[in-house]
Copies of this chain bind each other. A is one copy, B any other.
């Protein structure tokens, strides 16, 4: 369900990015363009939360259930990395 929601946000973001490109090409007012870009970012951030939720609830949970120590270690390392990347980009 999280992935489905993410897909919805991503498709809306793509549509809005298209619209922003047309606004820039059409010489529209900067402030209106900036607001639309920020709206796209807000959508992508929501999609990202959904994807990471889905990750925790499926991939990470599965790794824990499997008791595969190496896989669990990899999952924790990936989570640490994505949190660091999140912190850098946002």
Give 1 or 0 for each of A31-73: 1 = CB within 8 Å of chain B CB.
1011101111110111111011111111111001001000010
| Copies per assembly | 4
In the assembled complex, the Cα of A33 lies from the Cα of B44 at a distance in Å of 11
Residues of B within 8 A of A72 (CB): 64
Decide: A34 near B55, CB < 8 A? Known: A7-B24, A17-B13, A44-B40.
yes
Size class of the A contact interface (CB-based, 8 Å): 35 or more
By the criterion CB–CB under 8 Å, are B21 and A34 in contact? no
By the criterion CB–CB under 8 Å, are A90 and B80 in contact? no
Residues of B within 8 A of A82 (CB): 31, 34-35
Decide: A78 near B31, CB < 8 A? Known: A87-B86, A87-B90.
yes
